[in-house]
Structure 1
Amino acid sequence: MSTAVSGTDHAPSGHLRRDVGFWGLMFVSLGSIIGSGWLLGALTAATLAGPASLVSWLVAAVMLALLALVHAELGASYPAAGGTARFPRFVFGPLAGFTAGWMAWLQAVSIAPIEVEATLSYIDHISWVSSRISILRVDGTLTPTGLVLATVFMAVFTVINLVGVKLMAETNGVAVVWKTAIPLLTVVVLISLSFHPSNFTAGGGFAPYGAHGVFAALPAGVVFALQGFEQAIQMAGEARHPQRDVSRAVLASMAVGTVVYLLLEVAFIGAISPANLAHGWANPVGKGDFGPYATLAVAAGAGWLAALLYIDAVISPAGTGLVYVATSSRISYALGREKELPRVLARVNLRGVPVASILLAFVVGLIAFLPFPSWQSLVGLVTSATAIMYAFAPVSLYALRQRDPDRPRPYRLPAYRLLSPAAFVSANLIVYWSSYEATWKLCVALLVGLAIFAVNRWRLPAADRGPLDARSAAWVWPWLAGMVIIGYLGRYGGNKTIPNWWDLVIVVVFAVVMYEVAEKVALNAAQVRDLVDAEAEDLAAGPLDATAR
């Protein structure tokens, strides 16, 4: 894998360019974490959990921190573009690798449209804009004008990415400085001008909806807001010093994002007018108010802050959308290089840019505006897809530690025998909390992806197919089927057959069992070394044949 982790600034022809340093990687991850989630996550969490939404943020931070630590080791040890699709491939073969990669691509390609949706929803609530441009949404659906504006946003993301990763990283870096400063300014202003400590026990007490509310808030915007740390890993193939910088970028972005979101929730709860909580937390800032912080800023007499927040409602989601167009294209690029999707997706131009993969992200992003016309309608589905993608990393790390022990690891997960299964359990709980509906829909989407995988594999010459290693991927199907069944019988979108708390026990036990099964059926050490070496040889090869499909 030595070629794959080269630190050279200029990639050979046909490869991604290594132009991104530590700050670029850190800003890519932090820019993904601080997006529309900060504008909308606090309100959504508070309506579901009340003041106990603070516990939701803490729970999510701990669970995602475990997963971030796992990804930090893998990303530094095996740095390649689209890493979340490649780690499982090394230990469970191409079938499992494609499954993880398909989930990673589905969630990544959906987030740019989500961020655009958030921007349009904010803009549509500015009377000055709606009176001059026309209404962008009617009953939650984009109007023709709204669709045109959404297309413009997606086109801008695409053009910046087509120019090259260096411009994308620099553009995102400028946006992240703004995106971090405005939330912190909001915290300071709201706490200074309008803070009511009594709100933390108002409307039914600190936890008016009990533990169920705390857990229900996680997939409704909390986990979505904190996810994104893995983007530095997806871009590792373009890092100048991946072994040194990737793990640091992942951990630093996660730490900053967690602190910012906790402060925002405290400021949000404290700034609400106590009169709005007399009848509970259903509408803490007024029914129909989509810009919660702007509403609170006006009520506190800081109209200037509200103006900045509406500007940020464009910059923050746009910066995140820009990053996810890049990362979704790197995942499809990786799947193309592995011959699991058409190889045209892995072709790069003279600038080292995967043009076909970026254009695919643009087209799919536009399609997503049609069946999912609102921010809320996509968040739960993307959260579940992200958790499934994350879940492959802990089992991959454990198996790679056993089968590839001599690999240089610039960052090593401490107590990995304990923290790695804990991270897998965390991902499974997030999938469960995301609701039964989200889980079964994603399993249907996986079947569609596997059909594409099968057709593409059938079209390949026999010599290019390689072993499928279906036995090593056999644990994936009972795992996903089990999560669907538990979701159906559970208390989050299911029929509530399983009693409260017992549902969580069942998820935890099931996850631990599947973790052990996965490690037992993984490829042996020789097969793992062959796949890692094949990865290095592929990345060291010349440009792809222009006629490849």
Structure 2
Amino acid sequence: MLSPERSRASAQAPVRCPGCAPSTVRPAHLAERCIGVRPQGCARTRHRQSSTGYSQRASSWRALLAIGRPHRRPRHRETAKSASPSPTPDDHRLKRHVGLIGLLFTAVGSVIGSGWLFGAMYAAEQAGPASILSWVFGAIMIGFIGLTYSELGTMFPVSGGVVRFPHFAFGSFASYTTGWITWLAAASTAPIEVLAALQYGSNYVPWLQHLQDGVAVLTTPGYFAAAGLMFLFSLINVIGIRWFARLNNALVWWKLAIICIVIVAFLSADFKLDHFTHPAQGGFLPLGWHGVFSAIATAGIVFSYLGFRQGVELAGETDNPQRNVPIAVLGSLLLCAVIYILLQIAFIGALPGAALANGWQHIGTTFSGGIEGRALAFGPLATLAMTLGMTWLALLLYVDAFVSPADTGLIYTTVTARLSYAMGRNRNAPAVLAKVSERGVPWVSVILAFIVGLIFFLPFPGWQKLVGFVTSASVLSFGSGPLTMMALREELPNHHRPFRLMGGWMVPYLAFLSSNLIVFWSGWDVVWKLMLAVVLGLVLLALHEGLRGKHTPRLDFKAGFWVLPWLGGLALISWLGRYPELDKHAGNLGYLHLVSGVAVIAIFSALIMWLAHSFRLRGRRVLDHINQNWADAPGEQPG
């Protein structure tokens, strides 16, 4: 028998890891964990040192100061905080069939969806000519968020990354809560694209939609048409990711060509410069700065930019994620921001004077044109083209009104399935969601996305009714990304980062602040519905945990409890705010105006950021989650 002292020494002695380079050693009590973890030059693991296998963590304030410093790799040995997987597939059954152009075009195809068909009109209604600034500010704010996800996406190129990154840093409770919000946002995006296609189609088939309180909504036959399109998206996804990428590439070339033709045609028509500054219409800022920032959240501006996420969500299925992910994320944002700003300028200048007769707020219902005098709200760009005598352009737009939303809906059906797949891999959702077919498709998740998509048509039967919810849910889910990046900078300081974001804590803070501001500007009438959906998700989590009993993985509630004051605080601030305007009787109190609201959100964001950073998971738990999520699943059989 060994003495207790000798037993402990033996357990802590470094041993060679099977399959690794001769120089690679690791603590004995961690030897069996060698799954997907490797250093430069080693196939399976990284060096770990100290008697426990984990080095002492630095204090929080020192970590914050060190975040922006250049990366330095130790010459010989790394601490446990640096031990993490290299970018290899997270699941051997998912196929890496998406190249650089495929991933970039997936992101671009998501950005150029229904937003470009309606965003110019709704933004002009809410902000007038200053809607140009709304597109600029929206691109900058989403750009901050995209930068943080570029670093995370190249560190861990996994499918469903927006859901899985918080799991690494904060555990199951935080990842489930943010993952539930993310999944709701993605699941409701395919339906919104279907609604956009049908809204334009109603110019030719009027029984698809009708106006209700000035907003186009589905008729009963329209619901059946919407269900048919959702089924088509799901069917294409079941075929496989390779066919999806090929089809998407062709559709994106079409969309880019059409939007460029529209911009040139409107700019070369009877362009009216006085629309941008005419005093009778309120000048450049007819609705003030309140309208500028409100348009960012509710006119489809942020909704349009959110497509950048596909570069992150499909990182586990691209052949070179270290190169492809940042190019897809940042390239899609930059390209599409320029396109959208030019389109907004062209739309405002090409509007006939009659459209402004009742002010900017009513251009969608005041002006009629196109087929049988249908209102501008049913198809803004096509109706405007008809009025300008460009029948050929209107016909192209009616075709594209199906192609653009259909392509984006197809993409989001793919992404929704990957998100529920990721939650199944996180083990905070039913494991059946992670079942993968022989074609590399999470087919159970595809079916679930189809069913939930149909449900979303019931409370939100129109494009404008649904866009605010999708925007708020999406940016709220993105808020966990900057916090995760800060936590992993502390816990994995020496991890190889192909794309390393400079600037210390500043960019993550601005990204988190941007997320919270966009939710605030969405208005209380949207936020309370979103928070109700969050409560429903927590109830489902409780049921899931109760049914699994002893087999339930740890929730890590202590590391993720900050989610509750974050969401609760946002709901309270929104209720106290002036978004939407009080005359809409949404139930908000109106105490916080634009400036005071921004100030409160700025302080609140800093407090939540500090709270999340202070209670994050520490070294061993971080590595446990990474290895568990990153390992191949040899026991998983295709369903």
Asked whether the two chains share a fold, i.e. TM above 0.5, the reply is: yes
Is the contact between residue 163 and residue 182 of structure 2 (CA under 8 Å) also seen in structure 1? yes
Residue-by-residue CA offset, 1:325-364 (whole Å, 9 max, x unaligned): 0000000000011111111110011111111000000111
How far off its partner does 1:21 sit? 0.8
CA distance in 2, matches of 1:502, 1:355: 48
Is the contact between residue 232 and residue 246 of structure 1 (CA under 8 Å) also seen in structure 2? yes
**Alpha-carbon distance change, 283 to 436 in structure 1, aligned in 2, over 3 angstroms:** closer
Q: 2:436: which partner in 1?
A: 348
Give the number of the structure whose alpha-carbon radius of gyration is greater.
2
Superposition CA RMSD, Å: 1.8
Q: 1:241: which partner in 2?
A: 320
Q: 1:284: which partner in 2?
A: 363
> Could you state the TM-score of these two structures normalised by the residue count of structure 2?
0.81
Is the contact between residue 137 and residue 146 of structure 1 (CA under 8 Å) also seen in structure 2? no
Residue-by-residue CA offset, 1:73-93 (whole Å, 9 max, x unaligned): 111111111100111111111
Residue-by-residue CA offset, 1:153-184 (whole Å, 9 max, x unaligned): 11110111000011111111111111111111
Q: 2:633: which partner in 1?
A: 541
Structure 2 residue 293 is the aligned partner of structure 1 residue 215: yes
Q: 2:261: which partner in 1?
A: 185
Q: Which runs of 5+ in 1 are unaligned?
A: none
**Alpha-carbon distance change, 123 to 527 in structure 1, aligned in 2, over 3 angstroms:** same
How far off its partner does 1:6 sit? 5.3
Matched residue type, 1:225: S
Structure 2 residue 564 is the aligned partner of structure 1 residue 477: yes
CA distance in 2, matches of 1:213, 1:144: 34
How far off its partner does 1:141 sit? 4.1
Is the contact between residue 28 and residue 172 of structure 1 (CA under 8 Å) also seen in structure 2? yes
Is the contact between residue 5 and residue 80 of structure 1 (CA under 8 Å) also seen in structure 2? no
Matched residue type, 2:598: L
> Could you state the TM-score of these two structures normalised by the residue count of structure 1?
0.94
Residue-by-residue CA offset, 1:377-420 (whole Å, 9 max, x unaligned): 11111111011111000010011111111221111112132111
Is the contact between residue 103 and residue 385 of structure 1 (CA under 8 Å) also seen in structure 2? yes
CA distance in 2, matches of 1:101, 1:479: 15
Structure 2 residue 614 is the aligned partner of structure 1 residue 525: no
SS at match of 1:230: helix
CA distance in 2, matches of 1:189, 1:390: 36
Is the contact between residue 5 and residue 243 of structure 1 (CA under 8 Å) also seen in structure 2? no
Q: 1:92: which partner in 2?
A: 170
Is the contact between residue 421 and residue 433 of structure 2 (CA under 8 Å) also seen in structure 1? yes
**Alpha-carbon distance change, 24 to 5 in structure 1, aligned in 2, over 3 angstroms:** farther
How far off its partner does 1:282 sit? 2.4
Is the contact between residue 6 and residue 241 of structure 1 (CA under 8 Å) also seen in structure 2? no
Q: 1:448: which partner in 2?
A: 536
Is the contact between residue 152 and residue 485 of structure 2 (CA under 8 Å) also seen in structure 1? yes
CA distance in 1, matches of 2:219, 2:246: 33
Q: 1:273: which partner in 2?
A: 352
CA distance in 2, matches of 1:38, 1:135: 21
SS at match of 2:628: helix
Residue-by-residue CA offset, 1:422-473 (whole Å, 9 max, x unaligned): 11000000010011122222122112112222222233362x4232111111
Q: Which runs of 5+ in 2 are unaligned?
A: 1-35, 38-43, 45-84, 369-374, 581-587
Q: 2:554: which partner in 1?
A: 467
Structure 2 residue 125 is the aligned partner of structure 1 residue 51: no
How far off its partner does 1:500 sit? 4.1
Matched residue type, 2:237: N
CA distance in 1, matches of 2:227, 2:186: 18
CA distance in 2, matches of 1:165, 1:431: 33
CA distance in 2, matches of 1:28, 1:37: 15
CA distance in 2, matches of 1:302, 1:449: 49
Q: 1:427: which partner in 2?
A: 515
SS at match of 1:479: helix
Matched residue type, 1:273: P
Is the contact between residue 145 and residue 482 of structure 2 (CA under 8 Å) also seen in structure 1? yes
1:184-333 equivalences in 2 (<5 Å) = 184-202=260-278, 203-220=281-298, 221-284=300-363, 286=367, 288-289=375-376, 290-333=378-421
Matched residue type, 1:216: S
Q: How many residues align?
A: 536
**Alpha-carbon distance change, 433 to 522 in structure 1, aligned in 2, over 3 angstroms:** same
Deviates more, 1:247-256 or 1:101-110: 247-256
**Alpha-carbon distance change, 543 to 34 in structure 1, aligned in 2, over 3 angstroms:** farther
Matched residue type, 2:621: Q
Higher RCO (Cα < 8 Å, 6 or more apart) = 1
How far off its partner does 1:545 sit? 5.8
Over the matched positions of the two proteins, sequence identity in percent amounts to 42
Matched residue type, 1:495: L
Match 1:337 to one of 400, 405, 425: 425
CA distance in 2, matches of 1:33, 1:219: 15
Matched residue type, 1:32: S
Flag the structure with higher helix content.
Answer: 1
SS at match of 2:560: coil
